[in-house]
Copies of this chain bind each other. A is one copy, B any other.
């Protein structure tokens, strides 16, 4: 019958099997490639890969840094501040839009349009408008995630049943308390959900920008090593990026469970 469940042990076994299969497939592919051209670097062998990993984690003589540490530090700081300002801005804008119909009428059209432009195309605009320093990364991420997040906040506010607002008034709430104690509490978990979804795009802008103007960071390293065709460094970096994304996602889920325990309970 369709939809029949299987035992947990099967789940685990098959999951591990899938990963193993991928690794085996890669090994075969790489071996075939190296039989043709022993110097191939596009599908590095495991020993090449371990070389690449070593290169990334060992202290580099020229720059006196561990690449992956320096890059992770730079990228995560940029990401953090970018997302931080984007979230702050969108919370402000979204709240105002949700609470006050005239703000909504005013800001909705430009936001809706902005949300539709592939941010990568805006790279050029950001170079022009925000320069090429650290602030550029931050501005770019902030502006990149803002339209979608603001829309989410706005919709979340709109979703709060009017009855709850009314009731809060009958309980003696001031306007500010409605926003702070009712609407914000409602919006928070949804905002975190939306941030989780926007981390991906934010990474995309950041990596793209780092590829062009960075002198440290994941994007910079990947571009440089790609140009040198050191795929043995590029692939591990991509895996690190994936793990990075996973880590942030996990942290945000934990945060959500912490600040909005009610939400996880299936509200």
Contact = CB atoms under 8 A, between A and B. Distances in A.
Interface of A: 1-6, 10-15, 17-19, 22, 42-43, 98-102, 105-110, 113-114, 116-122, 124-125, 127-129, 162, 165, 169, 175, 178-179, 183, 200-201, 203-204, 207-208, 211, 218-219, 222-223, 226, 231, 234-235, 237-238, 241-242, 245-246, 249
B15 A125 contact: no
Contact of A14 (B6, B105, B207): B105
A12 B30 CA distance: 60
A187 B2 CA distance: 15
A128 B43 contact: yes
A124 B2 contact: no
Given A101-B6, A102-B6, A110-B18, A117 B241 contact: yes
A72 to B, nearest CB: 14
B175 A18 contact: no
Contact of A118 (B2, B127, B203): B203
A129 B25 CA distance: 14
A105 to B, nearest CB: 4
A109 B19 contact: yes
A237 B123 CA distance: 13
A225 to B, nearest CB: 8
Contacts of A4: 101
Nearest to A244: B116
A118 B178 contact: no
**Interface core residue of A114, A118, A211 (most chain B CB under 10 Å):** A118
B200 A120 contact: no
Contacts of A22: 110
B116 A3 contact: no
- Tally of this chain's copies: 2
Given A105-B6, A121-B222, A219-B121, A113 B18 contact: no
Nearest to A18: B106
A2 B99 contact: yes
B245 A118 contact: yes
Given A14-B102, A125-B235, A208-B208, 7 more contacts: A2-B100, A2-B179, A3-B99, A10-B102, A42-B129, A116-B245, A124-B222
A125 B225 CA distance: 12
Top 4 closest A-B pairs, CB basis?
A116-B245, A14-B105, A124-B226, A118-B203
A11 B102 CA distance: 7
B19 A237 contact: no
A162 to B, nearest CB: 6
